[in-house]
Amino acid sequence: MWAEKDIEKVLVTEEQIENKAKELGAKITEDYKAIGSTPLLVALLRGSVPFFAELCKNIDLDIQYDFMDVSSYVGRHSTGEIRILKDLDTPVKDQDILLVEDIVDTGKTIQAVIELLYHRGARSVKIVTLLDKPSGRTNHLQADYIGFEVGNEFVIGFGMDFDQKYRCLPFIGVLKPECYTSKE
């Protein structure tokens, strides 16, 4: 495989991701059936796409989905702000939204998106993330559905990139240090 020489270790295998998506899909189905609602899935581009595709086929509800692309930047305020690069085409007023993320790190991006969606009149906003990196958190944000917890390391694969590379790897891994340093 082309990337083999760059990979230090595999953290989560393709099979583990597939099983986790089944588990999360079943739980999401159960939870939304219990409240008699069908969520609008909002996947944040680009990193969440492979996880989103794996997840949505495991949700046994007549769901609709849409995409949003935001870039987060921190101004002088530590709350974080977002710039919308691609907005939703679907109105969110009175909708139950389920945001799909690849990884929650500081939590700033997703927090800003949540506030925006509530501001637009969403009824509820929940988060499902493939990975959670709690050591990176700078706010109190907690995802509602979490695939796997990772430590304080930079991960790639299954949607996640380093310098736009490695997104299409079917597993989640850590790169060899020289792959980062050669770019710096």
103 near ligand IMP (CB under 6 A): yes
CB of 95 to ligand IMP, least distance (A): 22
Contact residue for ligand IMP among 25, 39, 50, 107 (CB under 6 A): 107
Residue ranges in 152-171 that form contacts with ligand IMP under rule CB under 6 A: 154-155, 160
The site that binds ligand IMP (CB under 6 A) totals a number of residues, namely: 15
Q: Which 129-148 residues touch ligand IMP, going by CB under 6 A?
A: 133
* Nearer CB in complex with ligand IMP: 32/143: 143
Q: How far, in Å, are 40, 90, 93, 98, 166 from residue 56 at the CA level?
A: 11, 17, 22, 11, 22
Residue 155 has which token pair?
Answer: 């991960």
CB 170 to ligand IMP: min, Å: 16
Residues 6+ apart with CB under 8 A from 158: 12, 17, 50, 51, 102, 130, 169, 170, 171, 172
Q: How far apart are CA 138 and CA 44, in angstroms?
A: 20
Q: Please state, in angstroms and rounded to a whole number, the distance separating the CA atoms of residues 23 and 130.
A: 12
Residues facing residue 86 across a β-bridge: 69
Site for ligand IMP in 53-82 (CB under 6 A): 72
Catalytic residue among 62, 94, 105, 161: 105
Residues 37-56 that bind ligand IMP (CB under 6 A): 47
Q: Which residue has the tokens 């389920």?
A: 98
Active site residue 105: yes
Give the H or E element holding residue 86: strand 81-86
- What minimum distance in Å lies between the beta carbon of 105 and ligand IMP? 3
Name the residues annotated as catalytic: 105
Contacts with ligand IMP by CB under 6 A lie at 47, 72, 101-109, 133, 154-155, 160
